[in-house]
């Protein structure tokens, strides 16, 4: 149900309401049927003030790749607070440009992850080939 009272979809809950209130991510419901027509609303996801600030903070390295606070996150940042003040103007945390060392660290971590995935894939392929050879010999 949308905030306008429109039926969007039907689904079965995967967790209780108490768990949903405390959960930051995960699957809350298993979708059964979508009711709302495709392209009924324009695609505007991620264009708001919070999304822009969060994206800048991720690029700067002050949030991790999932948008969670890390050791470089400013103390004033709280993802649960509203970014708009009483007048409706954006009360946004100013984030500087990504630091050179953060970008280098991020790139090196990405390279390590890619290499580990590649190695795992290679080992899996080798195991599969060796098991296929064992079957062919019999």
| Unique residue bearing structure tokens 């100013």 | 94
Cβ atoms of 57 and 77 closer than 8 Å: yes
Lowest mean pLDDT among 62-66, 68-72, 76-80: 76-80
Q: Which of these, 44, 32, 42, lies nearest to 7 by C-alpha position? A: 32
pLDDT above 70 covers a percentage of the chain that reads 74
Q: What per-residue confidence (pLDDT) applies to 18?
A: 92
| Unique residue bearing structure tokens 């903070």 | 57
The arithmetic mean of pLDDT across residues 90-116, rounded, is 66
pTM exceeding 0.85: no
Q: Longest C-alpha distance within the chain, in Å?
A: 78
List of long-range contacts for 18-26, beta carbons under 8 Å, 24+ apart = 24/68, 25/66
Segment 21-31, tens digit of pLDDT: 998 888 899 99
Q: How is residue 61 written in tokens?
A: 């390295």
């Amino acid at each position: 149900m949308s905030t306008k009272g429109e039926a969007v979809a039907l689904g079965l809950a995967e967790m209780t309401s108490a768990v949903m209130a405390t959960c930051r991510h995960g699957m809350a419901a298993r979708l059964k049927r979508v009711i709302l027509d495709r392209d009924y609303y324009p695609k505007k996801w991620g264009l708001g003030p919070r999304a822009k600030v969060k994206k800048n903070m991720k690029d700067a390295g002050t949030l991790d790749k999932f948008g969670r606070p890390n050791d470089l996150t400013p103390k004033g940042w709280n993802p649960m607070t509203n970014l708009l003040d009483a007048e409706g103007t954006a009360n946004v945390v100013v984030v500087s440009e990504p630091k050179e060392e953060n970008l280098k660290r991020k790139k090196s971590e990405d390279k390590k992850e890619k290499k580990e995935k590649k190695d795992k894939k290679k080992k899996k392929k080798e195991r599969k080939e060796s098991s296929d050879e064992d079957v062919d010999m019999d």
